[in-house]
Amino acid sequence: MNTTKWAAALSFAATLYLTPQITYAQDSLFIIPKPLVQLAKKGHYIYTTHTDVFANPDFKEAAALLKEHPYLKFEEVKILKNGKHLPKQGVALLKAAKDDPLAQDAYRLEITPYRIVITAHQPQALLQGISTLRQIAYTRKDTKSLPAVWIEDRPAFGYRGLMLDVSRHFLPLSFLKKYVDLLSIYKLNTFHWHLTDGAGWRLEIKKYPELTRFAAWRTDASWKNWWNNGRKYVEMGNPNASGGFYTAEQARELIAYAAKRGITVIPEIEMPAHSEEVLAAYPNLSCYGLPYKNSEFCIGNEDTFKFLENVLDEVLEIFPSKYIHIGGDEADKTAWKQCPKCQKVIKDFDLTDEHGLQSYAIKRMEAYLSKKGRKLIGWDEILEGGLAPDATVMSWRGEKGGIEAANSGHDVIMTPGSHLYLDSYQTNPIGQPESIGGYLPLKKVYSYQPIPAEIELAKQKHILGVQANVWAEYMPTSNQVDYMVFPRAIALSEVAWTPESRKNWDDFQARLQQHYRLLQQFNVNYYPPSNNLSILSSFDMASKLARVTINSEQFQPEIRYTIDGSIPTVNSPIYKDGISLNHSGTVKAVIFKDQLPIGKVQELEIDLHKAIGKKVTYNNKYSSNYPAQKELTLVNGQTGDLTYGDGQWQGFLGDLDVTIDLENPQALQQLKMRYMQLTGPGVYMPAYVKVALSNDGISFKALPQIDNDVPYTDDSLRFKTFIFDLKGHTARYLRITAKNEKKGFMFSDEIVVY
Ligand code: ACM
């Protein structure tokens, strides 16, 4: 559509919704996650050149962590004998009295002008109080002076995790320590260490030296280059070998470092899939007995179980965690289907099929871990073919697996790709380092609610908590990990700790502004808020109004906008809280600072068109994995955003073939339809789009097709709008087809008809 022409021809109705700006007192504390109860008191505690630190004997070790508190100088922790009076000055770590109503997982932090007191029943809870105190110091401009406050605080969820994939790109131990430090400052208590995958085995296993002599090293430092160029491993010592591993001793060192900070390290050893590297080193464990053939262990070979049990024996020696993660995701069943040994197991054990075979393998591993006093966690594929009796499920393919598992009485950790996969883009991909795809801005992470409505009340206790995952295919350096993880992990921290009733996006954003100071002190290469704007619109069928919202990553920016197609100026209206339009048009917006525009002008065409709300018949069904708003999607007046997972892009595995019924013959002007391409996850443009018109729904007149001109070899995020000139045509029915030539996913946006 020629926007200026349309804009000139149309009039607009714009309504502003005003909300008061939140203001914050000078001396507020900016704690994330938001404590359960926080009461400001009068005065300040001022650190001097030496501050005494006192601790109950149970908390002596925890007190040592205060050495890492900036500006708190002390030599040795003074042990408080039982029954001794509370010191008059300094910092005291007190054990809660038996009759103190403080919960077992709670801490109390009191800062007064005389002293700082942290009280808890347990060291784990006390450590959370220390994290709060450290964080207060790191987030203040004047670190030596702490405002008086009374805090009582406890977590909403017991499991608060962050995962890191060190297989796709190996990262040094020193970086993992920094990662763990930051977890503890944000009260995340679980580090899920993804140690093995096709791109490299990362943990020393003494019984199987080939795992670290060979399977830990590959031909290219970049995962992408390696993946696209033969995927071969090389021996350690080869001048071009790239990779690495952690010795058992180094793993123990990290576990101890994390434990001191209240963090459990859970190892993940992938099985039965994502194991190309193991099978290259030990090809006898694959169905064909050959390297570089499959990703899956042969389940019909008893040597597989011997190997896995031996590996786990050493893993259990190193890792004291109750939970052990065995992967379980994305097993390709092709080799098992053709393998006589696997088929024999299916027959002998009366299993339904290859899903049953996967379930058989997981159940055996669960029994093994259970015998050793541990618990198995796996990705949600472990539900397929029947869940092992005592397994805990990590729900990653959305929430479905988690809902099913919790409702059937299994423990669950919520980690849906839609909200908690930190390998997705956090802003418009244009200008960003390449990532795997998807679009997950900070606000969306923050919006996550870990207990889905579909879980029965009595089963909600099975949601142990949440975790964000950091898959590192496109994170070749620790700097890039920093960039993708922060600040989104800070939003995760509040999702995991703070009850929904205490969460508030505006308040979070205000507190977050002080946390860049903390990240800077830890040398975190975080993603800074951009000046990009995201303009979204939805259509209200009842009022026939388009409702436009503009989101910014900046805190309380001055956004100016126009609705007449012109470039916003310093005199254009300031955006507050939404714009309503009763006609088509283009919203343009940009941030102003000191009277000048900063960043790019963003725009969104609002199409209040003829097809909105009309009946769409699918001659070819959309994919059940990406139904978006089902039959309403293509004509609901709402366009998709930057990701195909946003509920407005509809996915097709075959051709798109739909007929729209406009209810009566109408003089037409134009039809347009947008597609997306992102080749990484297999999303391609149609080869061409066709439109045919009819008045009776039986005989259609075809218009010239429009061919795609976006190369399939372009691996950046691309959009293309196919525009048909319909001037001079009258029709009631429009049949639209789009050719899915690449047989991957094809994603269609709104079909706009004028
Ligand atoms: C996964 O993302 N494959 C668990």
pLDDT of residue 75: 86
pLDDT of amino acid 69:
80
| Residues 6+ positions from 89 with CB-CB distance below 8 Å | 52, 114, 115
Is 329 a pocket residue for ligand 1 (Cβ < 6 Å)?
Answer: yes
- Closest ligand 1 atom to 396 CA: 4
Portion of the chain with pLDDT greater than 90, in percent: 88
For residue 220, how many other CB atoms are within 10 A of its CB? Answer: 18
Q: Is the CB of 540 under 6 A from ligand 1?
A: no
The answer to whether residue 25 scores a pLDDT higher than 80 is no
List of residues 6+ apart from 241 with CB closer than 8 A: 217, 218, 219, 234, 235
Cβ–ligand 1 distance for 390 under 6 Å, the answer: no
The stretch 30-42 carries a mean pLDDT of: 96
Pairing of strands 545-552, 579-581: antiparallel
Query: Stretch 332-348: mean pLDDT, rounded?
Result: 98
Query: For residue range 269-279, what is the model confidence (pLDDT) as tens digits?
Result: 999 999 999 99
Residue 731 has pLDDT above 60, yes or no: yes
Query: From residue 384, how far is each of 319, 352, 387, 396, 523 by CA, in Å?
Result: 28, 11, 7, 14, 43
pLDDT for residue 555 is more than 70: yes
The predicted structure's pLDDT at residue 49:
81
Which atom of ligand 1 has the smallest separation from the CA of 469?
2
Ligand 1 center–CA 194 separation, angstroms:
11
Distances (CA, A) of 274 to 15, 203, 297: 53, 15, 9
> pLDDT band for position 305 (50/70/90)?
very high
Looking at residue 683, the DSSP 8-state letter turns out to be: B
pLDDT confidence of residue 21: 39
Nearest CA to ligand 1 atom 3: 329
Q: Is 330 in the pocket of ligand 1 (CB under 6 A)?
A: yes
Distance 734 CA to ligand 1 centre (A): 40
- Domain 615-753, CATH among 1.10.3720.10, 3.40.720.10, 2.40.160.150, 2.60.120.1190: 2.60.120.1190
- Residue 8 pLDDT > 70, yes or no? no
Distance 198 CA to ligand 1 centre (A): 13
Of 21-25, 119-123, 747-751, the least confident: 21-25
Residue 681, pLDDT score:
86
**Model pLDDT, residue 87:** 84
- Could you tell which of 197, 436, 467, 471 is best to mutate to test the pocket of ligand 1, judged by most ligand atoms within 8 Å of the CB? 471
pLDDT band of 4, cuts 50, 70, 90: very low
Q: At what angle do helices 173-185 and 123-138 cross, to 10 degrees?
A: 90
Degrees, nearest 5: CA angle 292-297-300 = 130
Q: Which of 47, 46, 30 is nearest to 38 (CA)?
A: 30
Annotated domain spans of the chain: 3-153, 159-521, 533-606, 615-753
Query: Does pLDDT of 238 surpass 70?
Result: yes
CATH code of 159-521, in short, is 3.20.20.80
Measure 329 CA to ligand 1 centroid, in angstroms: 6
Do residues 351 and 345 lie in contact, with contact meaning Cβ atoms separated by under 8 Å? Answer: yes
| Pocket test residue of 165, 330, 393, 394 for ligand 1, highest count of atoms within 8 A of CB | 330
pLDDT at residue 6, rounded to an integer = 32
pLDDT at 17 over 60: no
Is the distance from the beta carbon of residue 421 to the nearest atom of ligand 1 less than 6 Å?
no
For 533-606, the fitting CATH number among 1.20.1440, 3.10.620, 2.60.40, 3.30.2220 is 2.60.40
Residue nearest to atom 1 of ligand 1 (CA): 329
Please give the model's pTM, rounded to 2 decimal places.
0.90
428 versus 693: the higher-pLDDT residue is: 693
Q: Indicate which residues carry an active-site annotation.
A: 197, 274, 330
Residue 84: count other Cβ atoms within 10 Å of its Cβ.
10
Question: Which segment of 7-21, 95-109, 629-643, 680-694 scores lowest on mean pLDDT?
Answer: 7-21
**% the chain with pLDDT above 70:** 96
Contact status, residue 190 vs residue 469, Cβ threshold 8 Å: no
- Give the Å distance between the CA of 199 and the centre of ligand 1: 14
* Gap from CA of 379 to ligand 1 centroid (Å): 7
Token pair listed for 218: 């590959």
Contact between residue 329 and residue 295 where contact means Cβ atoms under 8 Å apart: no
Tens digit of each residue's pLDDT (9 = 90 or more) over 632-662: 999 999 899 888 888 899 999 999 999 999 9
Average pLDDT of span 470-495 = 98
Average pLDDT score over residue span 34-42 = 95
175-200 pLDDT per residue, tens: 999 999 999 999 999 999 999 999 99
- Residue 46 has a CB neighbour count (10 Å cut-off) of 11
Judged by DSSP in three states, 723 sits in: strand
Which ligand 1 atom sits closest to the C-alpha of 379?
4
pLDDT of residue 84: 65
CB of 396 closer than 6 angstroms to any ligand 1 atom: yes
What confidence score (pLDDT) does residue 81 get?
Answer: 81
Q: How far apart are the first and last CA of the chain?
A: 10
Give the class (CATH, top level) of 3-153: alpha beta
381 vs 394: CA distance, rounded Å? 9
User: Which pLDDT score, from 0 to 100, does residue 85 have?
Assistant: 74
CA distance 749 to 648: 7
What is the per-residue pLDDT across 53-86, written as a single tens digit (0 to 9) for each?
999 999 999 998 998 887 788 889 999 986 667 8
In sequence order, the 6+-apart residues with CB closer than 8 A to the CB of 377 are 266, 323, 324, 325, 326, 391, 392, 393, 394, 413
Spell 299-328 as b/e; 16+ CB within 10 A means b: bbbeebbebbeebbebbbebbebebbbbbb
* Count of other CB atoms within 10 angstroms of residue 744: 16
Q: In terms of residues, how long is the chain?
A: 754
Which residues, other chains included, contact 101 with Cβ-Cβ below 8 Å and sequence gap of 6+?
Answer: none
Instruction: Assess whether pLDDT exceeds 60 at residue 12.
Output: no
Q: Whose CA is nearest to atom 2 of ligand 1?
A: 396
Which of 390 and 23 is assigned the larger pLDDT?
A: 390
Residues 398, 382: Cα–Cα separation, whole Å: 15
Three-state DSSP class for 110?
strand
What residues does 683 pair with on adjacent strands? 678, 745
